[in-house]
Amino acid sequence: MTTLIQKTPCPYCKIKTSVELPKNFAPVYVWCNSCKKKFIVERLAEGFQAMTIEEAPCCSDPDCRELEMGGSDEQ
Ligand SMILES: [Zn+2]
């Protein structure tokens, strides 16, 4: 089993920070330990990517996705 805790350079301050990867391919918000900014981590087919809120497309932004898929609270 691969660990979901990974280290990645923060897209804002470039300092390595620990992130917890989502268990699926839905993007999640994580907070940098250094600059405390919120950024997005999204799993890829291999590995993962970190991106700033500003550069993330809507489909990679948890809030934006929720709005687009909104209307149903069913799980
Ligand atoms: Zn940072």
Question: Which pLDDT score, from 0 to 100, does residue 72 have?
Answer: 57
61 alpha carbon – ligand 1 mean position (Å): 18
- Residue spans of the domains in the chain: they are 5-68
Q: Taking the complete model, does pTM exceed 0.75, yes or no?
A: yes
pLDDT tens sequence across 2-54: 678 999 999 999 999 999 998 899 999 999 999 999 999 999 999 999 999 99
Looking at the predicted structure, is the pLDDT value of residue 74 above 70? no
Residue ranges near ligand 1 (ion) with Cβ within 5 Å:
10, 12-13, 32, 34-35
DSSP assignment of the chain equals: ---SEEEEE-TTT--EEEEEPPSSSS-EEEE-TTT--EEEEEE-SSSEEEEETTTS-GGG-HHHHHHHTTT----
